[in-house]
Amino acid sequence: MQKISLWLSSLVVAITAVVPVQTSLAQENILFPPKSLPSVQALLKKMSQDAAHINYRGSFTYQNQNSIELQSFRVEHWVEDGVEHDRFLFLNGPERVILRDGQPVDCKAMGDELLQGRISQIGKILVDMDDLYQFEIRGQERIAGRLARVLQVIPKDPYRYGYFLSIDEDTGLVLKSWLIDENAHPLERYQFISLDLNPDIARMKTQPLPRPYKAIADVTPCNPTELTKPAGWQVAWVPQGFVFAGQRTLASGQTMLMYTDGLTTFSIFIEATSSFVPEGVGKRGATLAYMSRLSVKDVVHRVSVVGEIPVAAAAKIAQNITGQ
């Protein structure tokens, strides 16, 4: 699930807000009553293990709460020599494509480790996902011509959002995802509208691509950071379950600190500046940017907390950052 959130974040950058959506979860129908449902543990295991090993090609739509416009994408995924490859092609507007040559399929990301309960392999500071979210199976529905189980992911504190996930019964692919706020209103949603589980891989590999953008892999246990805590900065508070996942210095000179709870991520951007620092909140769908001013030894810094987290969490994080 973390993987899904990461690549969707890359796509969201290109989407412009227009008009608020007037929809609620009540308008969605679950077509089948909940009978013979699998256990939550079995469903999570299928999501984290099975989906990475299959080849597929499909189309999906994306929408956030700020826009009535549906964005359309084509996704291509295949495994070659034990390594995952992905392409995300924009079907609306200018032709663009995001490429990702991924990690070996046996290299589990932090979200996969959490979902499989292998907490000891991540570190004692991590807590079980059950301490952070409540998982409930809500029934069965049909997405892109396929049967899917509906899983509700309910946060146990006000510092993270919830999800409705429709998971393909055969493959474990997430066919539909709704990221929802505390009032069960959708912030972002995507949904497959077609899915081919027997794609022509040779053709996918050789087809001409428009203006490819090479995605950079985030720090994961397969691409580990040597740091166990931020260098030069102290973040005294993050929501329960979030752990430090890496640090980078960007070309702009900004310091980027990354955190995850295994399902959700946020980043902190810090840079020294002599310019005026605006303070406030910007939002696009579920992605929030909380901006604040920090003085360290008479040097003014611009601090931005960016991620799919509520305002209350971002504000408290920013207020607890100090220089070392």
Instruction: Supply the pLDDT for residue 27.
Output: 42
Between CA 303 and CA 286 the distance in angstroms is 19
pLDDT of 265 higher than 60: yes
- Indicate the DSSP class of residue 220: B
Q: Which residues pair with 47 in a beta bridge?
A: none
The larger pLDDT score, comparing residue 123 to residue 163, is at: 163
**Long-range Cβ contacts of 49-52 (<8 Å, 24+ apart):** 49/112, 49/116, 49/172, 50/171, 50/172, 51/171, 51/172, 51/173, 51/174, 52/79, 52/84, 52/105
d(CA 140, CA 37): 8
pTM of the model: 0.73
- Is pLDDT at 2 greater than 50 in this prediction? no
Nearest partner of 108 among 250, 252, 2, judged by Cα: 2
Question: What would the pLDDT profile of 104-157 be if each residue is shown by its tens digit?
Answer: 655 544 444 433 333 223 222 223 577 888 888 999 999 999 999 998 989 999
Nearest-angstrom CA–CA distance, 301 and 273: 6
Residues 205-219 have pLDDT tens digits of 888 777 665 554 454
What is the Cα–Cα distance from 317 to 305, expressed in whole angstroms? 8
Greatest mean pLDDT among 91-105, 209-223, 248-262:
248-262
Q: Where in the chain is the domain with CATH 2.50.20.10?
A: 2-214
Specify the domain boundaries for CATH 3.30.200.100 within the chain: 233-323
Q: For residue 25, what pLDDT is reported? A: 47
Of the CA atoms within 13 Å of residue 221, those in its CB half-sphere come to: 18
For 233-323, the fitting CATH number among 3.30.200.100, 3.90.1310.10, 1.10.10.10, 3.30.1200.10 is: 3.30.200.100
Q: What is the pLDDT of residue 208?
A: 78
- The tens digit of pLDDT for each residue in 281-320 reads 998 888 899 999 999 988 999 999 999 899 999 999 999 9
Higher pLDDT, 175 or 102: 175
Read off the pLDDT of each residue in 81-103 and give the average, rounded to a whole number.
Answer: 82
Per-residue pLDDT, 98? 80
Domain 2-214: give its CATH superfamily: Lipoprotein localisation LolA/LolB/LppX (2.50.20.10)
